[in-house]
Structure 1
Amino acid sequence: MANAGPEKFELLEAVFTVGKRLGVRSSDALRPVHVAEVSVVASIRLPSGRLVVDTPWPEDRPARELAEQLPPGTYELEASWIEAPYEFMGESFDGRECAAVRLLVRDEPVSVWEFALGVDDPAEQIVPGDEMGFQTDTAMGAFADARSWQALTEPFRKFWERCEQSPGIAFGRETEKVRSGEFEKVTDPASRADLLTFPAEEGVTAVWIGRTSAGHVATVAAAPHLSWLT
């Protein structure tokens, strides 16, 4: 199993601590980045205990279900916002964005962070230094119940199809907007399962499992907006 080294461990802990200084922007060494807010966004139901962390948009591949299963239940999703004020063309901006999200499984300290293996990931082929997670070019990820993935992602497939059939027309999505639309939630009444999106970046978004000293899963986290820190 690929565990986080000391620097990554410290960063994954710090990003969920208000007031922590995470570093500086790689493009501007004079702009320190601080954690401005950490709060619960919403809760999601995982009746099967099987968790997908992937983009909800149509992809020509199976959804990335995690090999680790959780006890069936309802879990809160917590998000971290960072700020790094900057100026551009004479205007000031707070540089605020969602840097990381995590599913709260147990209210216990994390003893070790490890890459969250997918059900189809060959553990013996893990290369040290590689980041394991999901890949997307849509800047959106999601936590969802794996058994209900098809039903929960239907609003995104419908939206995609409408846009392809009628380019240039603005369509809405049949999702619930959370925090002014920064997150989106979908519920499947039949299975009583949920999906919750979060802001991601294009490319690979690493997914981590935080374990307690006893080896239990305390949290599942994705931190897509930390790659530009130094």
Structure 2
Amino acid sequence: MQEGPIDYDGRFASAEGADGGPSSIERTWLSLPTGRIVATDPLGGNHDDPPAPFVQVVPPGRYRVDLLVTDRRVAAARLVVRDEPAASWESASPEGISDGSDAEVTGYDVNAGTGCFTDEQTFRQLSAEPGSDWQLTLLEDLAWLPDGPTGIPRREVDGCSGAEGDENVLVAFPSGEGDGTYRTWVGRTEHGEVTCFVTDFLLEDE
């Protein structure tokens, strides 16, 4: 796995508006009721023990999610907080994880070929629901959209405040070539404000 972040701003900018090139951008929107961000495999893992949100918190609101698609595979997923270039990058660190720990260095495990961005409140509410209808919805949508985003709208999550009925409160996407362990980075402006979160699916390492 790479030791440091690469030029994500450059990678996304080069694919923006591409017409017939090797890379393109797929885009959607995500509502974060609390601004406490979770990146995880929404279809795998133990939902009785939801993943911790990142220590890097953003204001509650509606944010853009960009997928960098290369040769019909999602190479990276970016949650845009400010539409500004990053002056520096740091690891997105889950709460309760000490600096330099394996979880901070390696990222999250994918066991079902899917990653996502969501809000801690949303994921806890989804995880507490009996059955797995929302997971089946994601599986069906991803089967039709193998290189694009799909989402769980607000209306599917009882009690999730801060979003309109049709706004996504979870955005999922295929994870590169499939299962693995993928790290999320946080970009900051020169004044220290968060610009984005980027999960890299390591297609550049091939």
Q: TM-score normalised to the size of structure 1?
A: 0.68
Measured in 2, the distance between the counterparts of 1:156 and 1:195 equals: 18
In the TM superposition, structure 1's runs of 4+ consecutive aligned residues that sit over 3 Å from their partners are 152-157, 174-180
Whole-Å Cα distance in 1 between the matches of residues 195 and 60 of structure 2? 14
| CA–CA distance in structure 1, aligned partners of residues 119 and 39 of structure 2 | 9
- Identify unmatched segments of 5+ residues in structure 1: 21-33, 84-95, 161-171
In 2: Cα distance, 1:71 partner to 1:220 partner: 14
- Cα displacement (A) at 1:37: 0.8
Q: Equivalent of 1:214, from 187, 191, 197?
A: 191
Once the 2 structures are TM-superposed, how far is the Cα of residue 65 of structure 1 from its aligned partner? Answer: 1.3
2:96 to 114, 120, 128: 120
Q: Distance in 2 between matches of 1:46 and 1:65?
A: 12
- Greater helix share, structure number: 2
**Distance in 2, Cα, partners of 1:18 & 1:179:** 27
Q: Is the 8 A contact 2:50 2:123 kept in 1?
A: no
The aligned residue for residue 163 of structure 1 is none
**Are the equivalent residues in 2 in contact too, given 1:18–1:38 (CA < 8 A)?**
no
CA distance in 2, matches of 1:156, 1:144: 19
TM-superposed CA distance for 1:154, in Å, is 6.7
1:174 Cα deviation (Å)? 3.2
- 1:52 corresponds to which of 38, 49, 53: 38
Q: Deviations over 1:141-186 (max 9, x none)?
A: 11111012133357895259xxxxxxxxxxx923583794333211
Task: Kindly indicate whether the alpha-carbon contact (under 8 Å) linking 2:150 and 2:171 is maintained by their aligned counterparts in 1.
Answer: yes
**What's the counterpart of residue 166 of structure 2?**
none
Q: Spell out the pairing of 1:50-199 with structure 2 (5 A cutoff).
A: 50-60=36-46, 61-83=49-71, 96-123=72-99, 125-126=100-101, 131-153=105-127, 158=132, 173-175=136-138, 177=141, 180-182=144-146, 183-189=149-155, 190-192=159-161, 194-199=169-174
CA contact (8 A) 1:56 1:197 kept: yes
- How far the C-alpha of 1:18 sits from its partner, in A, is 2.5
Question: Between Structure 1 and Structure 2, which shows a larger proportion of strand residues?
Answer: 1
| Per-residue deviation, 1:82 | 1.2
The corresponding residue for 1:9 is 6
C-alpha contact (below 8 Å) 1:58/1:156 kept by paired residues: no
TM-superposed CA distance for 1:203, in Å, is 2.0
Structure 2: give runs of 5+ residues left out of the alignment: 164-168
Q: Distance in 2 between matches of 1:181 and 1:70?
A: 29
SS state at 1:37 partner: strand
Aligned-residue CA RMSD (Å): 3.0
Aligned mates of 1:104, 1:48 — CA distance in 2: 16
* CA distance in structure 2 between the partners assigned to 1:156 and 1:107 by the alignment: 38
Mark the CA change 1:59 to 1:179 in structure 2 (over 3 Å): closer, same or farther: closer
* TM-score scaled by length of structure 2: 0.75
In 2, Cα distance between equivalents of 1:52 and 1:100: 16
CA contact (8 A) 2:182 2:201 kept: yes
> Which of the pair has the greater relative contact order for Cα pairs under 8 Å at 6+ separation?
2
Match of 2:182 among 196, 199, 205: 205
